[in-house]
Amino acid sequence: MRVVLLGPPGAGKGTQAQIIAGKLGVPAISTGDIFRANVSGQTELGRKAKVYMDAGDLVPDEITVAMVKDRLAEADAAGGFLLDGFPRTIAQAEQLRASLQELGHGLDRVLELVVDEEELVRRLSGRRMLVDGQMVQRDDDKPETVRHRLEVYREQTAPLSGFYEDEGLLARIDAIGSVEEVTSRALRALGADTDGEAGQPAAV
């Protein structure tokens, strides 16, 4: 299955991506994680990306698209993938469609996690991650950067919702609730909720 997870910063994409990809048996590919790994590894790509990330801006499409194209060409993504954080602009979505077409594929579903902005600000300002045994705040989770990232989302990424709706691929789910609740809504929307189906009575 080839799936894109869409949603604003703080919607829980990273958490859900790991769980859902595990259930689907496909790799979760997060552009944010790849960029962060490159920043900590002090690679050339990381050095370029860091400037934009720290400002809460998008890394330019040409850098991001080439990186995703390489990642999707790896063997583990041949049978499917779950993309988290990509595409984030209409141009990225168009390039993704073209890359997949070259491989003779298309997306199966785009799942949008819906959370209102008040809740997002609350979640992001309290968010911490574990680095070398310590809980630290991501540089781009500082309040002023968070506000800017939400603006960037509204202007550049939110239009993808309509783009994928027109393609007949979009499913929106309410992403407020426990992690388990959101996961089961997501799996239902993907038609992958084995629990529900297993309980169906046999025809008499």
Binding site for ligand ADP (CB under 6 A): 9, 13, 31-32, 35, 52-53, 56-59, 64, 85-86, 88, 92, 140, 149
* Residue of 106, 116, 101 whose CA lies nearest to 80: 106
State residue 157 phi and psi, 5-degree precision: -100, -35
Q: Among the options 23, 48, 50, 138, which is catalytic?
A: 138
Nearer to ligand ADP, 27 or 56 (CB): 56
- What is the signed CA dihedral for 45, 132, 145, 113, rounded to 10 degrees? 90
Query: Given 50, 127, 142, 188, which residue is catalytic?
Result: 127
Give the separation between CA 143 and CA 140, rounded to whole angstroms: 8
Is 71 an active-site residue?
no
- Minimum distance, C-beta of residue 71 to ligand ADP, in the bound complex (Å): 12
Closest contact distance (angstroms) between CB of 190 and ligand ADP is 20
Q: Is 185 a catalytic residue?
A: no
- Which DSSP string corresponds to 87-140? --SHHHHHHHHHHHHHTT----EEEEEE--HHHHHHHHHH--EEETTEEE--GG
> C-beta of 59: minimal distance to ligand ADP in Å?
4
CB of 202 to ligand ADP, least distance (A): 44
Residue whose C-beta lies closest to ligand ADP: 32
Give catalytic status of residue 127 as yes or no: yes
Amino acid in the structure at residue 95 = Q
88 is an active site residue: yes
Is 138 catalytic? The answer is yes
- Residues paired with residue 127 on neighbouring β-strands, in sequence order: none
Query: Which residues carry out catalysis?
Result: 13, 88, 127, 138, 149
